[in-house]
Structure 1
Amino acid sequence: MSTSPSLPAITLVTLVVRDYDEAVDFYTRALGFDLVEDTDRGDGTRWIVVRPRGAADGTGLLLARAKGDAQAAAVGAQTGGRVGFFLHTDDFARDHARMTAAGVRFLEEPRHEPYGSVAVFEDLYGNRWDLLQPAQD
């Protein structure tokens, strides 16, 4: 039996935040992510990883508190106002309703496109995300 080599994978994406605790609260409560790790690094910083519940590929967000003016200025604008994050769902209506009830701010009404159902929302800092249920083949 031959095994294929393991390919590189993106496992974490850093998201610069204002405050650790408010970010953990938003991502776990409002978006329903799991808190995977919260380790005090001993120097006033923490290693915090959140991940969408049930994420098959294991990709997560590393929540990093801004250090200095340049990083603080990037909070909420890490993708220059474009949608930079894509949250896939298998039940758009369920997750849109749950997130709306949790206070997530959607910037548009849900759209049904050839590629799937989608609506743009903002996280607590203003980063833009797509909630997306891909179309079935």
Structure 2
Amino acid sequence: MQIDLVTLVVEEYDPAIAFFTEVLGFELAEDSPSLTNDGRAKRWVVVRPPGAGTGLLLARADGPRQAAVVGEQTAGRVGFFLRVDDFDASYERMRAAGVTFVREPRSEPYGRVAVFLDIAGNRWDLLGA
């Protein structure tokens, strides 16, 4: 058993794809036309870290209720965790790409950690050695 996808509600597909692929280095696993439950056009967009099994389903907000959770899916808590092999290199690359860090790097018993915001405003932990 495994978790295959986690939905991340975003404002628009293309800027979110660019953030996750160009800034974070994820792979675009799928970008296919699809339909909402009531037959309107949408896209099925999945991004994954290289070699990862679990991916993110980037879902464009559909209506005011979904738009209200963009960037607030975990009510301001860190809700996503990105583990990297080279923390310092990843941190510097992300800063150079304009990623907003809301907590600077610190050392914890489990390794180095810094909190950053994704394109929607959700909080992530960048984790590594």
* Interval of TM-score (by shorter of Structure 1 and Structure 2): over 0.9
The alignment status of 1:110 with 2:110, answered yes or no, reads no
Question: How many residue pairs end up in the alignment?
Answer: 125
Aligned pair partner of 2:66 in 52, 58, 71? 71
The 4+ residue runs of structure 1 with deviation greater than 3 A are: none
Alignment TM-score, normalising by the size of structure 1: 0.88
TM-score by length of 2: 0.93
CA distance in 1, matches of 2:96, 2:71: 22
| 3-state SS in 2 of match to 1:22 | helix
Displacement, 1:115? 1.1
State the identity as a percent: 63
Deviations 1:105-137 (A, max 9, x none): 111211011111000000111100000015xxx
Is 1:121 matched with 2:116? yes
User: With CA pairs under 8 Å and 6+ residues apart, which has the higher RCO, 1 or 2?
Assistant: 2
Q: Deviations for 1:10-69, whole angstroms, at most 9, x for unmatched residues?
A: 0100001100111101111111110000001154200000001232xx100000011111
SS in structure 1 at match of 2:124 = strand
Structure 2 equivalent of residue 10 of structure 1: 3
- Unmatched tracts of structure 2, length 5 or more: none
Find 1:47's aligned residue among 44, 48, 68.
44
The CA RMSD over aligned residues, in Å, is 1.1
Structure 1: which 5+ residue stretches go unaligned? 1-7
Q: Specify which of 21, 26, 29 is matched with residue 28 of structure 1.
A: 21
AA partner of residue 97 (structure 2): A
Higher gyration radius (CA): 1
Secondary structure class of the residue paired with 1:64:
strand
